[in-house]
Amino acid sequence: MTLTQTADLGETHRRRIRAERLTAHLGAELFDVDLAAVAADDTLFAELRGLLIDYKVLFVRDQRISRGDHVALARRFGDLEPHPVLASDPDHPGLVRIYKDLDSPPEHFENAFHCDATWRDRPPFGSVLRCVDGPAVGGDTIWVDMIAAYAALPSDVKVRIDGLRARHSIEASFGAGMSAERRAELHETFPDAEHPVVRTHPETGEKILFVNSFATHLTNFHTPENVRFGYDYAPGAAELLQYLIRQASVPEFQVRWRWTPDSFAIWDNRCTQHYAVQDYWPAVRRMERAGIVGDRPY
């Protein structure tokens, strides 16, 4: 069956949302869909959610819907969570404003491959992101299939990382530019989280390479099997972690999306990473993101 054909949804329903694959591994653009209608319709939402599991990130253009509809759609997936550093829309808690203009302070958190908020004990399930305003050229976002990244690892590396865990930190990322006092407060509120280097997708059972730019170090590398002498520890663990983090930069695992106003991306944060390309200065880029509470990785 091709992706533009309909597929059975039980005995009486047939697919009403057309999805066209964008790359071999992940990403599909949706057509014949109104996201406000999806938010209000059980059958349409079930179809959208199934497509998200299939393609990991979904894109749709020309959705002139309200912020209320944006939030209602995201809440279909689960509760929303605010961000401790980025501001939310005052009328819609959990709808985070990611606004970049000439008055924005310089920072480079988005233009690194990352999985959102892995510094949480329960990282987000996913996000629904809207482009409110963007540059005529530039400002694309890249997503990466971390299931494909894990599958392509050499077999000896898979054996080596089986059972390893990594520490993820907001203090070492968002907190790095803060004062020592503010950074300590941030760490107290959001202590470092520890996650498996390879997590299991809770719905498909697939293995996912689950380290990114929030990961600071491997927590259980220092064993007699891995360390002959004390000085093996730091370079051995650090080099392995950086090698794993670099897998997100492989183009074969990526899809790139060019934003237009009122276009949306919906992604599964459990099995993807993303990178917001900051090549548009001095143009303005304003995005609004509803992040959905997730589960504890295993």
Contact between 167 and 217 under an 8 Å Cβ cutoff? The reply is: yes
Say which amino acid occupies 122. Answer: R
* Residue 116 designated active-site: yes
Q: Which of 25, 69, 70, 116 is catalytic?
A: 116
Examine the residue annotation and report whether 274 is marked as an active-site residue of this protein: yes
Q: What angle do CA 9, 13, 17 make, to 5 degrees?
A: 75
Q: Of the residues 25, 120, 274, 285, which is catalytic?
A: 274
Q: How far is CA 101 from the centre of its chain?
A: 23
Integer Cα distance of 35 and 31 in angstroms: 11
Active site residue 8: no
Specify whether 217 is catalytic.
Answer: no
Which residue among the candidates 70, 114, 199, 285 is catalytic per the annotation? 114
Asked if residues 233 and 227 have their Cβ atoms less than 8 Å apart, the reply is: yes
Q: Contact, 36 vs 65, CB < 8 A?
A: yes
φ, ψ for residue 166, nearest 5 deg = -130, 150
Residue type, 169: S
Alpha-carbon distance values, 108 to 60, 77, 87, 88, 100 (Å): 26, 29, 17, 20, 12
Active-site entry in 70, 76, 168, 289 = 289
Instruction: Tell me how far apart the alpha carbons of residues 234 and 13 are, in angstroms, rounded to a whole number.
Output: 56
Active site residues: 114, 116, 274, 289
